């Protein structure tokens, strides 16, 4: 027999696709030809595979070898195909009977010594294999726990090509994925450690309940970072579908913690203000790495000292925030990553960042305006909640920590989200922050005139924009949901105005 076929999986963005690796060995001048749209890494695969085969004690066939990766139209990146190529080659040369590998998808990178190394994106790859009806996969031992997360799959790990050869030839065992049944540790900071900051805590709770983007503006020491870091702790646990999406993105980035379990808590990403555009939205050679906005998918993206970020970096966030996904245009085929994150910005009120706040600031009024204006166009427009925080006072700091814990607040947040989801189900939406302005202003959700009187007066006098008007209404719905009422009243509108503009604090 001089032909063999082995199953593997390729990745485009976060989508896996079954790939068939064909090997044909013919008499003629010895050499290897790879076809099927391979990238440079695949050409390097030829040299890696040859060394790995020889160093695993197998005979390298001195024949004319043609390798073909199907479908040809699918862009293929990286080193995931190494192991499948080696197996197809040994099968084609008659060295290895491939019957035990029939219907098995094989993933893994080979080292020159024949060791099998972990690859990025195993979770979405084996999930795709399962969807395509494959029920057995062989993966690098370092990725076995991650692959075992996908239900209905028999997963086995390999640490070397030699082990796989022994399995096929002599039925020697492969490595079983580790069983991890320890309860998930609840980690991360808790709201109970935040002293004072009544307005900030309230803003955080409203942001969590309505899915509103949030800007925290205040001097250093006002607790902006402390608050932002605690937003995930009051958000609901991810459901199965969301957990799989989030875990897949972290898998593609190669950032999945060992132990291999689904990420169940909303992620938190805080890129530094010197972050480049690719590190924020994704990019890089070969299989594109998801950026911070995608790693924060279904969680929180925190930009501390937001005005210090480069203009292109802030600009690059506009599209993902609008559409909930990032489209990376690449030389060969684009990659798309989900990017539905809740944005939290923190900013000092002015460039001098004087901890005492306004009273000792020497910045000219124009400089202060320019500083926050850096955020205006692309981002502030999309942010419902803009809160001005004051420096913490000694009395607040000394107060015994009798504050609600994240768990207590999370219960109210979950109830409010449920009420909103039920109300907006007819529109196919779940969160107050997602409701288009026209729906808020029309029956059956239009608020009675007496409730919005103050708001309409502000609109008429020009102190509030039409967009600002809609944002206040959205926040008012969230405030009413948190309070367990079916419709916002005048008081809710007044609080929403405070949270929107910082007035009245």
Angle among Cα 476, 480, 482 to the nearest 5 degrees reads 115
Of the pair 363, 414, the CB lying nearest Zn ion is at 363
Residues that bind Zn ion (CB under 5 A): 350, 352, 361, 363
Nearest distance from residue 308's CB to Zn ion, in Å?
14
- What kind and span of H or E run contains 288? none
Give the Cβ contact number of residue 445 at 10 Å: 16
Please spell the DSSP secondary structure of 93-138, one letter per residue. TTSS--GGGTTEEE--EEPTTSBEE--TTHHHHHHHHHHTT--EEE
Nearest distance from residue 200's CB to Zn ion, in Å?
21
Q: What is the distance between the alpha carbons of residues 396 and 171, in angstroms, rounded to a whole number?
A: 68
Nearest distance from residue 305's CB to Zn ion, in Å?
14
Nearest distance from residue 371's CB to Zn ion, in Å?
8
Of the pair 38, 219, the CB lying nearest Zn ion is at 219
Question: Could you tell me the two tokens for 428?
Answer: 């196919």
Of the pair 57, 221, the CB lying nearest Zn ion is at 221
Instruction: Show the 3-state SS of 30-78.
Output: CEEEEECCECHHHHHHHHHHHHHHHHCCCCCCCCEEEEEEECCCCCECC
Nearest distance from residue 373's CB to Zn ion, in Å?
15
Q: Where are the beta strands (DSSP E) in 289-446?
A: 289-290, 300-303, 325-328, 335-338, 342-347, 385-388
Nearest distance from residue 372's CB to Zn ion, in Å?
11
Of the pair 363, 380, the CB lying nearest Zn ion is at 363
Of the pair 232, 349, the CB lying nearest Zn ion is at 349
Residue of 181, 134, 132, 171 lying closest to 153 (CA atoms): 134
DSSP conformational letter for 483: T
Give the Cβ contact number of residue 73 at 10 Å: 8
Of the pair 278, 391, the CB lying nearest Zn ion is at 391
Of the pair 26, 367, the CB lying nearest Zn ion is at 367
Of the pair 232, 357, the CB lying nearest Zn ion is at 357
Of the pair 189, 391, the CB lying nearest Zn ion is at 391
Contact 68, 42 (CB under 8 A): no
DSSP conformational letter for 178: P
User: Torsion angle, CA of 419/421/423/425, rounded to 10 degrees?
Assistant: -160
Contacts of 193 by beta carbon, 8 Å cutoff, 6+ apart: 226, 401
- What kind and span of H or E run contains 24? strand 15-26
Of the pair 352, 414, the CB lying nearest Zn ion is at 352
SS3 3: strand
DSSP conformational letter for 28: S
Nearest distance from residue 505's CB to Zn ion, in Å?
20
Q: What is the distance between the alpha carbons of residues 366 and 361, in angstroms, rounded to a whole number?
A: 13
Nearest distance from residue 271's CB to Zn ion, in Å?
25
Nearest distance from residue 307's CB to Zn ion, in Å?
12
Of the pair 352, 415, the CB lying nearest Zn ion is at 352
Contact 168, 101 (CB under 8 A): yes
Count of residues for the chain?
505
Nearest distance from residue 354's CB to Zn ion, in Å?
5
Nearest distance from residue 365's CB to Zn ion, in Å?
10
């Amino acid at each position: 027999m001089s032909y063999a076929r082995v199953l593997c999986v390729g990745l485009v963005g976060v989508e896996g696709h079954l790939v068939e690796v064909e090997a044909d060995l013919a008499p003629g001048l010895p050499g290897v030809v790879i076809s099927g749209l391979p990238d440079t890494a695949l050409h390097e695969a030829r040299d890696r595979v040859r060394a790995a085969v020889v160093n695993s004690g197998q005979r390298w066939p001195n024949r004319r070898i043609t390798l073909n990766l199907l479908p040809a139209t699918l862009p293929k990146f990286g080193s995931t195909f190494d192991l499948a190529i080696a197996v197809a080659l040994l099968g084609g040369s008659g060295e290895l009977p491939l019957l035990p590998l029939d219907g098995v998808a094989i993933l893994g990178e080979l080292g020159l010594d024949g060791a099998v190394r972990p690859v990025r994106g195993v979770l979405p790859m084996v999930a795709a294999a399962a969807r395509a009806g494959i029920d057995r996969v062989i993966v690098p031992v370092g990725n076995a726990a991650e692959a075992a997360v996908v239900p209905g799959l028999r997963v086995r790990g390999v640490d070397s090509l030699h082990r796989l050869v022994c399995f096929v030839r002599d039925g020697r065992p492969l490595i079983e994925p580790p069983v991890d049944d320890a309860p998930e540790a609840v980690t991360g900071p808790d709201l109970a450690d935040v002293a004072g900051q009544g307005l900030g805590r309230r803003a955080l709770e409203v942001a969590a309940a309505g899915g509103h983007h949030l800007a925290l503006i205040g001097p250093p020491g006002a607790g902006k970072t402390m608050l932002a870091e605690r937003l995930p702790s009051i958000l609901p646990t991810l459901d199965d579908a969301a957990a799989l999406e989030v875990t897949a993105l972290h898998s593609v980035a190669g950032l999945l913690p060992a132990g291999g379990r689904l990420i169940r808590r909303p992620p938190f990403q805080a890129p530094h203000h010197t972050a480049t555009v690719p590190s924020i939205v994704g990019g890089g050679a070969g299989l594109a790495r998801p950026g911070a906005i995608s790693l924060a998918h279904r969680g929180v993206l925190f930009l501390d000292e937001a005005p210090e970020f480069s203009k292109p970096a802030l600009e690059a966030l506009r599209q993902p925030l609008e559409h909930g996904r990032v489209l990376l245009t690449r030389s060969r085929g684009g990659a798309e990553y989900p990017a539905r994150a809740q944005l939290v910005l923190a900013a000092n009120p002015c460039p001098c960042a004087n901890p005492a706040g306004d009273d000792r600031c020497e910045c000219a009024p124009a400089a202060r305006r320019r500083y926050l204006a850096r955020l205006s166009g692309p981002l502030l427009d999309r942010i419902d909640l803009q809160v001005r925080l004051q420096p913490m006072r000694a009395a607040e700091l000394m107060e015994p920590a009798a504050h609600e814990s994240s768990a207590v607040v999370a219960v109210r947040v979950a109830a409010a989200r449920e009420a909103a989801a039920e109300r907006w189900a007819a529109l196919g939406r779940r969160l107050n922050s997602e409701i288009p302005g026209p729906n808020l202003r029309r029956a059956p959700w239009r608020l009675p005139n007496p409730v919005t009187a103050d708001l309409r007066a502000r609109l008429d006098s020009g102190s509030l924009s039409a967009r600002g008007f809609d944002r206040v209404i959205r926040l008012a719905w969230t405030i009413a949901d948190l309070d367990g009422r079916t419709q916002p009243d005048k008081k809710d509108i007044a609080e929403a105005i405070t949270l929107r503009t910082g007035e009245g604090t």
